[in-house]
Amino acid sequence: MGVSRHCASSAWSRHQVTLTAEESPPLSLANLAGTRTVGEGTRFSSPRELLFTAFHTLPRDVYYWVLPAPFTGDKPHHIPPHR
């Protein structure tokens, strides 16, 4: 998929996937190379806020959330916000 000057409709549909503290085990963080995964220190501070409080224990690197299967797979690169 790339940039184009032509608009076209799509057969793609939206499906909202949610994650709640009650339904999900604690998430982990991984570095970009995937050589380090950390699960300790993550928690939901509210139903809509996920925290990681142990950065001081990790080597300096860029870390990403490791999301459960419903969030992975083929996804469009950009979906306009739902209003």
| Residue in this structure with the two tokens 């224990």, named with its chain if needed | 57
Mean pLDDT of 36-58: 83
The string of pLDDT tens digits covering residues 11-36 is 666 667 777 777 776 788 899 888 98
Taking a C-beta distance cutoff of 8 angstroms, is the pair 20, 11 a contact?
no
Of 83 and 49, the one with more pLDDT: 49
The string of pLDDT tens digits covering residues 61-78 is 998 888 877 777 665 555
The predicted pLDDT at position 75 comes to: 57
d(CA 27, CA 43): 8
